[in-house]
Amino acid sequence: MSGTVLGVVVVVVFFLALYLLQCYGDLRKQQRMVLLGTLLSWYLCFLIVFILPLDVSTTIYNQCVLDNSNHSTPVTQTSHANHTEASLSLSLTKVCEKPWSYIPDGVLPVFWRVVYWTSQFLTWLLLPFMQSYARSGAFSRVGKVKTALIENAIYYGTYLLIFISLLIYVAAHPQWKFTWTELQTICITAANTWGLFLLVLLLGYGLVEIPRSYWLSSSHGYLLAKTYFKAAKMATEKAAAEENLADVMEEVAAVHESVRHNHCFRKFVDTILTKCTTEYQEEMGRNAESFCREQNVLPTKRDLVKLHSKVICAVQRQTQTQVQWSILLDKAFHLGDVDKSQSSLVRNFIHSFPSGHHQGWIHRFIYTPTVEWYWECVFRQGFYRLLAVMLCLLSAAVVWSECTFFSTHPVLSLFAVFIQMAEKQYNYIFIEMVCFISILFICVCVYSTVFRIRVFNYYHLVPHHQTDAYSLQFSGMLFCRLTPPLCLNFLGLIHMDSAISHQDRIQTSYTSIMGSMHLLSFISDGFYIYYPILVLLLCFATFFNLGSRCLNLLGFHQYITDDDLIADLVDEGRELIKRESRKQQRAEDSANRRWAWRERYRVQRTPEQRRPGYTELQDDQSSSVAEIKKSVITFTRSGSKTGLLQESPAGESLPNRRSKGGHYMSLSSFQTGIFDDV
């Protein structure tokens, strides 16, 4: 049974990590090494979290067996005493039943050692190298490796300097025997100290923000206003991404003209062209003879490498903003439908744009319009508020335990109290449930912050397969650095770590591979105990939005309800959503009219007109309109900085993709789609 439980957990966690990677990454287009490194890092971190409760229950059982062996009486006792003690020992032995998830001795130490050192190898060596490798614009693997090594020289040199300093510090103390085990302990302690420093910062934000986000999400008006605010910000980002892409495409067009087909650099230019969007590739192919021939300066290979990297980043950023804008529009339309459905007398949820609504078997048989109406208009608000209250209680328990877990007499940590109560009754299922729920909540608070934070355009996890390789690997690095100190901190909360509780008992297998933290007493008795108390101050700062207010002062707008500038952005976003709603409504009405006309014409047309060729002719005529519309945009031949795209020679006053002064004039692209004018 124990081996089955461990195997099931290993398999389930693997598919969980694979599902998350599929949501954020692109399994078909991104490099296999990037996906493999990210999947392995996420998988190992999730595996540690899911296996640790089993380690706790197994350790408690081993402690029970050890206590029973210590209570056994010697053979030199009298017969009556022997009979009494034997009966007592038998009763104690009956209590110490193996937990349903018991893992045999010797399995967990090897398992933790492999998992821990693999994750540390990933986060400190492999993933930083793969980050530079993925972002490199070199055209060969050797060139990418060379670039990655150069960029990581300072990174690895800093680690080497810290390592040498620790060696000198240990060698300067003659009372310490410099062994391989002590060296491992010093390295583990240094890594856990860095991780704990970042862990408390992320945990303090998540403990307040997660319950508050669910409470505020129960308010329909708050969600709608915040969506408008996001729409205004996303419109600006989308315009900036399109401007940047257009500038980069101008450079690509100049290089495409200057490097001839018989030049040795032509293969590099062709590689760059394959990374451009399909629209620009087609335009450069059709207008190959109309480019400017005034600039004949040939680029160097270094210039092509930089241009290659810029093209990759610009295309990725433009695609991200386009997908995020589409998702934001769907969310805004849905919230508008909820507002209409709440005031409707019919208890059926009505979508403004049925064609864009998914009509799978779940929506046909389970999540019907009636069920959707009851959920959105009746039960959702109460459910979210109840969930927010439960999460708030969990956050309060975590904050209290973080501030009091160092007190063992009396025991003040709530998690330690629950575990010790269940340990007296040997209720292993309750022990594992308490451990799993508590550590899962802490992980959600920390990991959700990792998924939410954004460092300009360098690190940003975007769902719907839009996360770039650099951000995926950076998240894997953070997970591998945060998970080991998170687990040690949790073991300290339940008093299963002797370095914190100073109790003489069997250590968990996870703690045993960390070595004795008493080797560095100023860390084990000082930093590990008192630094987590800082989470209380961070919770207060998050509750009063001090971080968001500071970012607003620096020009990075965050949604705050009592700010006049934010109110202006909300009004701007409302107008943008209305404009896109009217545009999509016109497209929907036009599509419905065309469908009705075709259905009517199919019934009324003569038998001669029912020939397949006649139908194909009509389809070709309708499709040719789209081709003419796509061919409006052309490249400029002049060498002046007038833009890569201009209006058609026919003189139609179509809005240009890039207007003068960089002002954003149209949120819809020229590609035929759901957001185009009819």
Over range 577-601, report the average pLDDT. 86
- pLDDT bin (cut points 50, 70, 90) of residue 356 is low
For range 121-137, the mean pLDDT? 89
What is the pLDDT, as a whole number, of residue 512?
85
Rounded to the nearest 5 percent, the helix, strand and coil shares of the chain are: 75, 0, 25
pLDDT confidence band for 425 (50 / 70 / 90):
confident
Pick the closest to residue 491 from 514, 506, 511 (CA basis): 511
Average pLDDT, the chain: 80
Tell me: pLDDT of 329 over 70. Answer: yes
Are the beta carbons of 586 and 596 closer than 8 angstroms?
Answer: no
Considering only CA atoms, which of 38, 47, 44 is closest in space to residue 20?
Answer: 38
Tokens of 480: 């591998």
Q: How far apart are CA 184 and CA 78, in angstroms?
A: 51
Task: Give pTM, 2 decimals.
Answer: 0.80
Inform me whether the pLDDT recorded for 427 exceeds 50.
Answer: yes
Q: What is the mean pLDDT of residues 386-401?
A: 95
Rounded to the nearest 10 degrees, the angle between the axes of helix 469-493 and helix 107-121 is 140
Pick from 430-444, 562-576, 616-630 the range whose average pLDDT is largest. 430-444
The tens digit of pLDDT for each residue in 495-530 reads 888 777 677 788 889 988 876 555 566 676 778 888
What number is the average pLDDT over the span 451-458? 81
The percent of residues above 70 in pLDDT, for the chain, comes to 79
Q: What is the pLDDT at residue 648?
A: 38
Q: Is the pLDDT of residue 154 over 70?
A: yes
Rounded Cα distance between 187 and 191, Å, is 6
Host H or E run for residue 454: strand 454-455
* CA R_g for the chain: 32
Question: What's the CA gap between 270 and 278, in Å, rounded?
Answer: 14
With b for 16 or more beta-carbon neighbours within 10 A and e for fewer, the 340-353 pattern comes to: ebeeeeeeebeeeb
Give the integer Cα–Cα distance in Å for 539 and 207.
Answer: 7
Tens digits of residue pLDDT in 225-277:
999 999 999 999 999 999 999 999 989 988 888 888 888 888 988 889 888 88
Over residues 481-503, the mean pLDDT reads: 85
Q: How far apart are CA 533 and CA 539, in angstroms?
A: 11
Which of 23-27, 348-352, 363-367, 487-491 is the least confident region? 363-367
Q: In the structure, what pLDDT confidence band is assigned to residue 118 with cuts at 50, 70 and 90?
A: very high
Q: What pLDDT, on the 0 to 100 scale, is given for residue 207?
A: 94
Task: Classify strands 454-455 and 459-460 as parallel, antiparallel or unpaired.
Answer: antiparallel
pLDDT at residue 447, as a whole number: 92
Q: What's the average model confidence in pLDDT over 423-449? A: 92
Q: What is the mean pLDDT of residues 58-75?
A: 76
Does the pLDDT of residue 668 top 50, yes or no? no
Q: Who contacts 328 (Cβ-Cβ below 8 Å, separation ≥6)? A: 227, 230, 231, 234
Task: Give yes or no for residue 78 having a pLDDT over 50.
Answer: no
The size of the chain, in residues, is 678
What is the structure's pLDDT at 539? 94
pLDDT (tens digit, 9 = 90+) per residue, 274-310?
A: 888 888 877 776 665 555 454 557 888 888 989 999 9
When mean pLDDT is compared across 212-221, 251-260, 338-347, 635-644, the lowest value belongs to 635-644
In contact, 288 and 269? CB cutoff 8 Å:
no
Average pLDDT over residues 311-326: 91
User: Measured between alpha carbons, how far is residue 150 from residues 133, 155, 157 in Å?
Assistant: 11, 10, 11
Check: CB of residue 241 under 8 Å from CB of residue 657. Answer: no
Give tens-digit pLDDT for 9-27: 899 999 999 999 999 988 8
C-alpha of 347 from chain center = 37
pLDDT digits (tens, 9 = 90+) for 605-636: 545 554 444 444 444 444 444 443 444 333 33
Structure tokens at 66: 């050890």
- Report how far apart, in Å, the C-alpha atoms of 311 and of each of 1, 270, 275, 305, 487 are: 54, 13, 7, 10, 41
Residue 523 pLDDT: 72
The average pLDDT across 142-164 equals 84
Question: Tokens 């004039």 identify what position?
Answer: 665
Cα dist from 444 to 49, 86, 166, 486, 649, whole Å: 11, 48, 34, 11, 57
Which residue's entry shows tokens 């594992």? 432
Q: Is the pLDDT of residue 144 over 50?
A: yes
Residues whose CB is less than 8 angstroms from the CB of residue 400 and which lie 6 or more positions away in sequence, other chains included: 412, 413, 414
| Interatomic CA distance for residues 166 and 194, integer angstroms | 15
Element (H, E) at 284: helix 278-286
Q: For residue 574, how many other CB atoms are within 10 A of its CB?
A: 18
Tokens 């890092």, residue? 41
First to last CA, the chain: 64
Measuring CA to CA, which residue among 513, 508, 471, 472 is closest to residue 490?
Answer: 508
- CA dihedral (400, 403, 405, 411) positive or negative: negative
Tokens representing 571 are 């009004």
Q: Give the confidence band of 1 by pLDDT, cuts at 50, 70, 90.
A: low
pLDDT above 50 for 667: no
Task: Give the largest CA-CA distance in the chain.
Answer: 115
